[in-house]
Amino acid sequence: MYGAIEPLIGESFFMEYSVLDSVCFSDFLSKFSRENPKSMNLIFLDGSGGHTAKAVKIPANIILHVIPPCCPELNPEERIWEALKSETSDEIFKDLDSLRAFLYDKINNLTKQVLKSLSFYPYIRQYFIPKFQSCWIGV
């Protein structure tokens, strides 16, 4: 699952892929770029190999900002995953499709207000929002 959240207004963009690698991430970025064509989009993300591989194709209207390793307090995406994990901790799923349906339901029911409250960190407001038309958190 790849996703991005715009913390100022609570917009989100999620897509499911069978693997998390540079090919799928490049496809995600391309589709994200087409959905947000009129703005320069800064996307914060972790330094996983699929995000940082040389093979990743980055559209012209996207800037990737890799958060330093071992700094979960700087990474707003961690709070979103924590919220989703807390929803699944008491559940037992009979198969992967059941888990997928459950997660899609939870993701689709995250309100803009909840997404804003989970992802809008003070440093983003202070340093990045004034400089970019759109600032997204990679999930």
The pLDDT value given to residue 28? 95
The pLDDT value given to residue 129? 66
Average confidence score pLDDT of the chain: 84
Of residues 51, 38, 70, the one with CA closest to residue 137: 51
Residues 56-83 have pLDDT tens digits of 999 999 989 888 887 777 777 778 888 8
The pLDDT value given to residue 47? 79
Position 24 pLDDT exceeds 90 = yes
CA-angle at 57, arms to 52 and 62, nearest 5°: 85
**Residue 70 falls in which region: left (phi positive, over 0), alpha (psi -120 to 50) or beta:** left
Residues 75-104 have pLDDT tens digits of 777 788 888 888 777 888 999 999 889 988
Q: How confident is the model at residue 43 (pLDDT cuts 50, 70, 90)?
A: confident
Higher pLDDT, 122 or 56: 56
* Beta bridge mates, 13: 4
DSSP string of 62-125, one letter each residue: EEEEEPPTT-GGG-THHHHHHHHHHHHTT---SSHHHHHHHHHHHHHT--HHHHHHHH--HHII
Q: Is 55 within 8 Å of 26 (Cβ atoms)?
A: yes
